[in-house]
Amino acid sequence: MSEILARFQLAWPGFALDVDLELPGRGVTALFGHSGSGKTTLLRAIAGLEQTATGYLAVNGETWQDGARFVPTHRRSLGYVFQEARLFEHLTVAANLDFGRRRIAERERRVALEHAIELLGIGHLLERKPERLSGGEKQRVAIARALATSPRLLLMDEPLAALDHARKQEILPYLERLHGELDIPLLYVSHSPDEVAQLADHIVVMDGGRAVAQGPLVETLARLDLPIRLGEDAGVVLDGTVIERDENWHLARIAIAGGHGAALWVRDGGHPLGHPLRVRILARDVSIAREAVLATSILNTLPARVVELAEDTHPALTLVRLQVGEAAVVARVTRRSACGLELSPGQAVWVQIKAVALIG
């Protein structure tokens, strides 16, 4: 059975956790929300670091908590990566990794340490001690150490929060490799829409200790009724495939999954033809026209249909959900523009998306 069932109730002065979740037993699930929403508390409850009076937790058919029955953290087959790497400073990288591997009996090792080292690209760091590592390198070692325990579940609590932008961009490709090459479910706590958009398959939106929305990432981000609005970060994620590369202009063309032939020009990221790709489209980079506009600098003009309109965080603005084939796009326009275009559900329009805003 490939699913994670988590039901917890926890009451503290000024805060209560009350969740009942049924999550995929594969892929990356992001626990997303603002600071204090309960993301880390939920992760710690799943790890057994917060013991709730009532609770139930089963991971792919293995029960870790059921009422009075409580499997302690050290007996749960999980790996935990914190915001700080928490490496043993007196040990080399190789010794840190071996410490993780020695926790697991040889017959239970499902992830080869050599594979974890290769996945995280840390082979050249094995003889160094943590003091000689950058922040990004430390986190890669911490993730490899967690994998060395051959976990049935991997937990990450904002592992990139302490890193600057350059170090985040360094480590994100390694996290994507984990996603693509390991069959270990990952629960990933973050308040960064960029990280969630790049890594997650499924999302749980937390607010006030409750899960106010959950579902597949592509569908959930396109909803206009979420209690937590993303402000300038509002937008959607589309899956696609590279179908053309224009080396002269350094652009790539991405066929949108479910787009019924629709494709987007984006800045070329160097991926080969046929490579699956995820594109994030912010609502602020989408405009709407009643007719196709030809003489424009915007390269992407696609036929669409209005699905719904909703109020935005500022009274001057409106969010519009549109359908391009079966794919959803969200646009942010002024209420004046929405009124002038007489936008309404079911209306056929054209969406314009800036290629300069998209990276393939």
- pLDDT tens digits along 143-192: 999 998 889 999 999 999 888 888 888 888 888 888 888 889 999 999 88
First to last CA, the chain: 35
DSSP string, 191-240: S-HHHHHHH-SEEEEEETTEEEEEEEHHHHHT-S--SS--GGG-EEEEEE
Q: For residue 346, count other CB atoms closer than 10 A to its CB.
A: 7
How far is Cα 302 from Cα 324, in angstroms, rounded to an integer?
7
Question: Residue 232 has what pLDDT?
Answer: 76
Question: Residue 128 has what pLDDT?
Answer: 95
How far is Cα 136 from Cα 19, in angstroms, rounded to an integer?
33
The residues with which 280 forms a beta bridge, in sequence order, are: 237
Give 34-39's long-range contacts (Cβ < 8 A, gap of 24+). 34/191, 34/207, 34/228, 35/191, 37/206, 37/207, 37/208, 37/209, 38/206, 38/207, 38/208, 38/209, 38/210, 39/157, 39/189, 39/190, 39/191, 39/206
Contact 186, 201 (CB under 8 A): no
| pLDDT averaged over 10-residue windows placed end to end, the chain, 360 residues | 90 92 94 92 94 88 90 92 90 89 72 86 94 92 90 93 86 85 90 88 94 92 77 86 94 93 92 91 94 90 96 92 95 96 97 82
Question: Residue 227 has what pLDDT?
Answer: 62
| Residue 161: DSSP 8-state | T
Say whether 116 sits in a helix, a strand or coil: helix
Hey, what domains does the chain have and what are their CATH numbers? Answer: 3-221 (3.40.50.300), 235-357 (2.40.50.100)
**Which residues lie below 8 Å from residue 297, measured CB to CB, with a gap of 6+?**
none
pLDDT tens figures, 31-57: 998 889 999 999 999 999 988 777 999
Question: Residue 101 has what pLDDT?
Answer: 80
Question: Residue 229 has what pLDDT?
Answer: 62
